[in-house]
Amino acid sequence: MKLCETCGNPVPDDVGVCPFCGGAQHAPPSRRVRNRVETVNLEAGLPTVEAGLERLQGELASARLRGVSVLRVIHGWGSSGRGGRLCDACRAFLERERQAGRVKAVLPGDGYSRMTVAARDLLARCPSLRTSERADALNPGITFVELR
């Protein structure tokens, strides 16, 4: 039960009009679904691995405070063609964060495709990722982090 916004009499929560005074009742504000995606570019400025990881830690903390649901981390793939040090270090760090329960999921970009169950699940939980799905698909230079 809630109180009528006009007369103050008790009315059921699901009633749109007060039975006592006929005053319109507004629905309670719905809980907003977290569906925000933000991108952080760690490879900008060609940082050292240590500087890149330090920035990643800060960006994760900041994104949590802003209510971001998925952080798209651009770490690059390296010039060797088989993964760079920053890429490897970021993915190892994020996997440790996942195992410790500090992030919900980690999905490397090279495994991000509608053909994978993990990507389909992430898209279902965060539909706003669909806007960049083609550009992000099978991209080894990025990693998706689903925050708690």
Q: What is the pLDDT at residue 41?
A: 95
How many other C-beta atoms can be found within 10 angstroms of the C-beta atom of residue 106?
A: 21
Antiparallel, parallel or unpaired: β 37-41 and 103-108: unpaired
Same domain (yes/no): 10, 75: no
Q: What is the pLDDT at residue 16?
A: 80
Same domain (yes/no): 132, 70: yes
Tell me which residue of 54, 92, 60 sits closest to 73, measured CA to CA.
Answer: 60
Q: What is the pLDDT at residue 34?
A: 56
Same domain (yes/no): 71, 106: yes
Same domain (yes/no): 25, 98: no
Structure tokens at 129: 């990722």
Q: Are 5 and 25 in contact, with CB atoms under 8 Å apart?
A: yes
Same domain (yes/no): 83, 45: yes
E runs forming strands in the chain: 2-3, 10-11, 37-41, 70-74, 103-108, 142-147
Q: What is the pLDDT at residue 33?
A: 47
CATH number at residue 79: 3.30.1370.110
Same domain (yes/no): 71, 104: yes
Number of domains comprising the chain: 2
- Alpha carbon separation from 56 to 47, 52, 72, 75, 127 (Å, rounded): 11, 6, 11, 10, 24
> Low-confidence residues of the chain, pLDDT below 50?
29-33
Q: Are 6 and 23 in contact, with CB atoms under 8 Å apart?
A: yes
Same domain (yes/no): 46, 26: no
Q: What is the pLDDT at residue 81?
A: 58
Q: 11: which strand partners?
A: 2
Same domain (yes/no): 68, 139: yes
34-50 per-position pLDDT tens digit: 568 999 999 888 899 99
Q: Are 142 and 71 in contact, with CB atoms under 8 Å apart?
A: no
Same domain (yes/no): 21, 44: no
Same domain (yes/no): 85, 114: yes
Same domain (yes/no): 48, 81: yes
Residue 22: domain span: 1-30
Same domain (yes/no): 87, 137: yes
